[in-house]
Amino acid sequence: MPPVLANYYLTYKCNSRCTYCDIPVKPENIPIKEVAPEIIIENLHALKRLGVKVVDFTGGEPLIYKHLPVVLKEAKRLGFFTSVANTGTLYPEKADSLRGLIDDLKFSLSTIDTDFYKTERGINGFAKVIESLKIAKSLGERPSIIATATPQSLAGMEDVIGLAQEMGVVVLLGPVFDFCDNELLQKEGIAEIHRLAKYDNVCVNWAFTQFFLDGGNNIAKPRCKAISSTIVVSPDDHLLLPCYHMHDERLKIKHEGGRSNLDEIWHSTHVQKRKAEEGSWSFCQGCTIWCYFEASFLWPPDKYFLLNLKSKWRWGNEKLKQLVEQKSGLCLTRKLAGDKDKIMKAISTNPLNSPAAKPTAEIIC
Ligand SMILES: C[S@@+](CC[C@H](N)C(=O)[O-])C[C@H]1O[C@@H](n2cnc3c(N)ncnc32)[C@H](O)[C@@H]1O
Ligand code: SF4
Ligand code: SF4
């Protein structure tokens, strides 16, 4: 099976400092410079030749890369499904230039408490995220919220779900993975995620939570297909092997006569040899870095494959509901089935309800 996904790191720079992510502060990342959009566009053509279907433009904070609209435009012209996750802190000033170019637009948000937001993400960004969600909806986008559950944020997730239901957006809820010695959820935490998964607008990848409970990747019988399913490109134009998070190899991409050799590198004997070993290195033991597992679970058919399909089905239905609500103004969402006090708390602390930011008809369904 050809690779389906590209995790395209446009920059390692970021204006946030999340407790569970070291991308912008990792010493090796700091001197890395971004490349011109023409280089990225040549790589997009190579990704097309490789058979990639989805390009996730990521970072760092991808909106820091000033040519993002140009590369997104070309990605759309080439027929890719485009995906961008961002914090929402820079979106308001870029929203017009990005309009209609992102198929899966996601804003990261794990709390509705402004102080906790600052503690978790290192900046005072909560109000901007809400503003971004409102702007995105007003421009006809159908954004989602990525809610990363940590031992500290899990208790507030019902409030995030309440906010998402109120705004008519989908919540992609998942557990934090071990990346920079951050604290992980225990099995009770995963049970809580499964409880929350039954609420409207919530999407949990059950394959991933099961994999988490099963102890993650087992190097004796690897389930990771990071190299075969996913192409990872760095901001300074290297193919990263085997994945961004644990790359021990950076292969420089060459450009000649307007053509990138990214596809040739991927087909090389060396990369194919590493592909045969994917998931079996010692650093892969217990890995749960979800950025590679959704695509890894696309084959072969096993319990993770089936749970992944079930999760995709749910996601498809939730996004369809979002589309119908947006087009028709109908309200198809069953508001939080939790106790009324919690709903009231979520609503009363939601900035949308403050007089300065009166909710508008197109936001509240
Ligand atoms: C690496 S960020 C890049 C995009 C952007 N900077 C953002 O935070 O939305 C992509 C997503 O990965 C999530 N993430 C980062 N570190 C993580 C970890 N250790 N476990 C789970 N999710 C993580 C972020 O919360 C974000 O939703
Ligand atoms: S905003 Fe994204 S890239 Fe920046 S520190 Fe947080 S998770 Fe990492
Ligand atoms: S198991 Fe994890 S660390 Fe190993 S290659 Fe896959 S994603 Fe990377």
Q: What is the pLDDT of residues 126-146, one digit of tens each?
A: 999 999 999 999 999 999 999
The structure's pTM equals 0.94
Cis peptide before 151, with omega less than 30 degrees from 0? no
Strand order through the sheet with 238-241: 202-204, 170-175, 144-149, 104-108, 81-86, 54-59, 5-11, 230-233, 238-241, 249-252
Query: Does ligand 3 lie within 6 Å of residue 240's CB atom?
Result: no
Question: Rounded to whole angstroms, how far apart are CA atoms 358 and 269?
Answer: 59
Tens digits of per-residue pLDDT, 15-59?
999 999 999 999 999 999 999 999 999 999 999 999 999 999 999
CA distance 147 to 232: 23
205 Cβ inside 6 Å of ligand 1: no
DSSP state of 280: -
CATH 3.20.20.70 fits 5-357, yes or no: yes
Give the mutation target among 7, 16, 84, 132 for probing the ligand 2 site: most ligand atoms within 8 A of CB: 16
- For 169, phi then psi, to 5°, come to -125, 160
> 217 in ligand 3 pocket by Cβ < 6 Å?
yes
Q: What are 141-188's pLDDT values in tens digits?
A: 999 999 999 999 999 999 999 999 999 999 999 999 987 888 999 999
**Ligand 2 atom closest to the CA of 25, numbered from 1:** 5
Cα of 155 vs its chain's centroid, Å: 21
Asked if 243 contacts 292 with a C-beta cutoff of 8 angstroms, the reply is yes
Choosing from 121, 132, 182 the residue with most ligand 2 atoms within 8 A of its CB, the one to mutate for a pocket test is 121
Nearest CA to ligand 3 atom 8: 243
Contact 149, 109 (CB under 8 A): no
Give the distance (Å) from ligand 1 centre to CA of residue 21. 7
What are the extents of the domains in the chain?
A: 5-357
Q: From the CB of 144, is ligand 1 less than 6 Å away?
A: no
CA distance 110 to 235: 27
CA of 332 to the centre of ligand 1 (A): 30
pLDDT band at 358 (very low <50, low <70, confident <90, very high): very low
Which atom number of ligand 1 is nearest to the Cα of residue 20?
Answer: 19
